[in-house]
């Protein structure tokens, strides 16, 4: 029953938000599959284009301005008369932030694009709107086991970095692990301001607030002593979830974690292959349903296909979800 109701709420929500655009393919330039997949997710984030469209810089042709080139690209992606709408944006990134002809980490590039957009938009109010759209606010608490003093450090994240701990994982189990307290002892002891010396401590991250667009980063690339490997473990995730799954991680300073707010999945950035020989694609949800974008090739898809990116060692090297983009569902006043 609950599943049926959340599905109904999701369908009603999809009808109320403007997701009515056609997903279009993007040619792969100099191994640009990672940026291509991210552009598909940014294009599906109509809220971002709404912010960028309210910005009218006097110099409309600055080739090195990331938010300007992003805005031009997202507009051009909606017009099929542009054969390569993302070429200027790619060159802009290549000139100042990323290397060509190399394997990229989609989470890293996602952060670079949003950080440079905030920095270069030259409009403090719009920069704040980009932050408010994506930033997850957390509080790191380090508690001294000797005097019980708790040091609190506020922080904000563009994506929620979830470690993959077990052979079989779910989004909820990864979230619970993220907010699990840890003991810092032996070589990890932390300086306590009250005791004025290093003391065994507890370390915990608490959630303060969730943004309208929640990016979840499934940490599939693990660095062990300088050697990076890919984790193929299974991580299941739902098409919609209630914020109740964050209840255990909530800070006592949480300002707006209302019970039973829902989030719906609308884009998945997918990595396939290995760490050295990989490829990025994206699943995008629009009013017409799910689409699969593999560079210039776009085809209709299904939620069952999206579920095929859960991973697992039996399907090693196949597509594995890497970034999950969820949107907070609007509630009307009667809901």
Closer to Zn ion by Cβ: residue 17 or 190: 190
150 binds Zn ion (CB under 5 A): no
| Minimum distance, C-beta of residue 195 to Zn ion, in the bound complex (Å) | 3
Residue 19 or 189 with smaller CB distance to Zn ion: 189
Q: Which residues between 45 and 104 bind Zn ion (CB under 5 A)?
A: none
Min CB(205)–Zn ion separation in Å: 20
Taking the CB of residue 25, how many other CB atoms lie within 10 A of it? 16
Where is 127: in which H helix or E strand? helix 124-134
3 state DSSP class of 25: coil
Q: Which residue has the tokens 């191994």?
A: 31
Contact between 197 and Zn ion per CB under 5 A: no
31 vs 204, which CB is nearer to Zn ion? 204
C-alpha separations of 103 from 36, 62, 153, 274 in Å: 13, 27, 34, 10
User: Rule CB under 5 A: is residue 144 a binding residue for Zn ion?
Assistant: yes
Torsion of CA 226, 231, 235, 239, to 10 degrees: 80
Closest to 320 (Cα-Cα) out of 239, 218, 227? 218
Minimal distance, residue 61 CB to Zn ion, in Å:
57
User: Closer CB to Zn ion, residue 125 or residue 147?
Assistant: 147
146 lies in the binding site for Zn ion (CB under 5 A): yes
Among the listed residues 284, 273, 292, the one whose alpha carbon sits nearest the alpha carbon of residue 324:
284
Tell me if 194 contacts Zn ion by CB under 5 A.
Answer: yes
CB of 183 to Zn ion, least distance (A): 15
Q: Assign 288 to helix, strand or coil.
A: coil
Residue bearing tokens 């085809």: 299
DSSP string computed for 293-315: EETTEEEE--HHHHHTTS--GGG
Residue 162 interacts with Zn ion (CB under 5 A)?
no
The correct pick among 11, 12, 84, 195 for binding Zn ion (CB under 5 A) is 195
Contact segment (CB under 5 A) with Zn ion among 105-113, 119-127, 149-157, 174-182 equals 149-157
Q: Which residues contact 332 (CB under 8 A, 6 or more apart)?
A: 16
If one asks whether residue 198 binds Zn ion (CB under 5 A), the answer comes out as no
Q: Count residues contacting Zn ion (CB under 5 A)?
A: 8
In the complex, the smallest distance separating the C-beta of residue 153 from Zn ion, rounded to whole angstroms, is 16
Q: Choose the stretch contacting Zn ion; rule: CB under 5 A; options: 78-86, 106-114, 142-150, 152-160.
A: 142-150
| Sites of contact with Zn ion (CB under 5 A) | 144, 146-147, 149, 192, 194-195, 199
């Amino acid at each position: 029953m609950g599943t049926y109701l959340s599905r109904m709420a999701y369908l009603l929500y999809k009808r109320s938000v403007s997701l009515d655009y056609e997903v279009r393919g993007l040619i792969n330039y100099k191994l640009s599959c990672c940026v291509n997949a991210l552009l598909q997710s940014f294009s599906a984030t109509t809220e971002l284009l709404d912010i960028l469209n309210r910005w009218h810089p006097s110099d409309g042709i600055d080739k090195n301005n990331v938010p300007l080139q992003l805005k031009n690209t997202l507009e051009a992606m909606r017009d099929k008369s542009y054969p390569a709408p993302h070429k200027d944006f790619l060159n802009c990134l290549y000139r100042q932030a990323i290397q060509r002809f190399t394997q990229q980490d989609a989470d890293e590039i996602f952060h670079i694009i949003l950080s440079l957009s905030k920095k270069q938009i030259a409009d403090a109010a719009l920069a704040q709107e980009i932050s408010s759209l994506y930033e997850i606010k957390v509080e790191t608490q380090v508690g001294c086991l000797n005097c019980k003093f708790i040091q609190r450090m506020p922080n904000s994240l563009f994506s929620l970095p979830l470690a993959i701990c077990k052979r079989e994982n779910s989004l909820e189990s990864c979230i619970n692990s993220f907010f699990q307290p840890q003991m810092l002892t032996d070589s990890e002891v932390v300086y306590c301001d009250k005791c004025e010396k290093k003391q065994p401590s507890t370390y915990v991250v608490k959630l303060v607030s969730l943004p309208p667009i929640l990016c979840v980063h499934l940490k599939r690339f693990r660095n062990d002593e300088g050697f990076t490997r890919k984790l193929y473990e299974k991580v299941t995730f739902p098409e919609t979830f209630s914020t109740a799954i964050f209840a255990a991680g909530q800070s006592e300073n949480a300002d707006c974690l209302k019970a039973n707010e829902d989030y719906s999945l609308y884009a998945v950035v997918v990595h396939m292959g290995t760490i050295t020989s990989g490829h990025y694609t994206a699943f995008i949800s629009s009013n017409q349903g799910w689409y699969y974008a593999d560079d210039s090739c776009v085809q209709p898809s299904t939620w069952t296909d999206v579920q095929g990116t859960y991973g697992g060692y039996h399907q090693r090297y196949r597509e594995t979800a890497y970034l999950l983009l969820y949107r907070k569902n609007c509630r009307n006043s009667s809901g």
